[in-house]
Structure 1
């Protein structure tokens, strides 16, 4: 074999090896990039409306919910804020915020539970009752621009376990939630 053929043979093998390494590296980086850019289950957005007649003394009151959560059971991170105004007097019935501790997503429905880190309520005879440390639960049905949601409050004697929800019966009139699984 001549020196020229040996040189081209070595360059060809080296070139082929470099090309394979580049393709393999690009495919690996591309796959890794896809995996890390997919944040997994998540719930985000804000929405609200007026409470219907079935809410008795609170019927007509405006409510607003803001929730940002991602992850699954055991890995959830997120926050929530809740406002419940008094329709006729303009006062505040409840206002609190906290951390989401569990998120469970199935299709267009998400259940998120959490713990209040700061807030108060005027739901009972006790004015500005501190509800810090109480558990909450939210169930959201992402139905385009007409989402549904419901909630449970530990401070209203509702026993709440992680990722426990209810049927989302309140149809929102403004805002939008996005549920991704």
Structure 2
């Protein structure tokens, strides 16, 4: 057989084979053709774009004091996207401690309000656990200015006296961030609130 004839016969055989395969596939029901990878999958939470939370304050830092006071603040406060219009629905906790020469106190606080704007956050909450007599059940507020390695902080008891002595402090009330964090310790992060105005 001449070479040209062989090519034509071979090409015809390939076309015939492809036609039979197509016909067989067409005769299958959709159920027979569907594979696990072809099957439509159910939409999951991971498929929808993640909604940004409305506001947040996180991080830990020590405050600078020339006398060597050991003062630490830690925050994990959040306002969910669905609560954007109500900062008093914020959740989370924060902690603080202040010791000098082995004396001082610490407190754990349940967040009840979070307001942020730009790089400034004001968070308040009720003390749930403390070794400072009379502090449990009292509301305290803290202000943080997120300035990278030079964060600043203020707290409500700067003007009201000891947290144990504070009476009826409103939610999200604190002082200006007048304290400086100790060098190398500031990692506060503020997520700005963007209310619909």
Report how many aligned residue pairs link the two structures: 137
Q: 2:64 aligns with which of 32, 35, 50?
A: 50
Match of 1:167 in 2: 176
Q: 118, 121, 130: which is aligned to 1:107?
A: 118
Task: Measure how far apart 1:172 and its partner are.
Answer: 0.2
What's the RMSD between the two structures over aligned residues?
2.3
Asked if residue 69 in structure 1 is aligned to residue 85 in structure 2, the reply is no
Aligned to 1:97: 108
For the pair shown, the structure with the greater C-alpha radius of gyration is: 2
Q: How does 1:76-155 map to 2 (within 5 A)?
A: 76-86=90-100, 89=101, 91-121=102-132, 129-153=133-157, 154-155=163-164
Q: Structure 1 residues 148 and 158, CA, compared in 2 at 3 Å: closer, same or farther?
A: farther
Alignment partner of 2:150: what SS?
coil
Please, which runs of 5 or more residues in structure 2 have no aligned partner?
1-39, 80-85, 158-162, 193-197
- Between the aligned partners of 2:191 and 2:154, the Cα distance in structure 1 is 18
Gaps spanning 5+ residues in structure 1: where?
1-21, 53-58, 122-128
Q: Indicate conservation of the 8 Å contact 1:108/1:143, yes or no.
A: yes
CA contact (8 A) 1:105 1:180 kept: yes
Higher strand share: 1
Distance 1:179 1:114, change over 3 A: same
**TM-aligned CA deviation for residue 148 of structure 1:** 0.1
The Cα of 1:160 is off from its aligned counterpart by: 1.9
Query: 1:139, 1:158 → 2: CA distance?
Result: 19
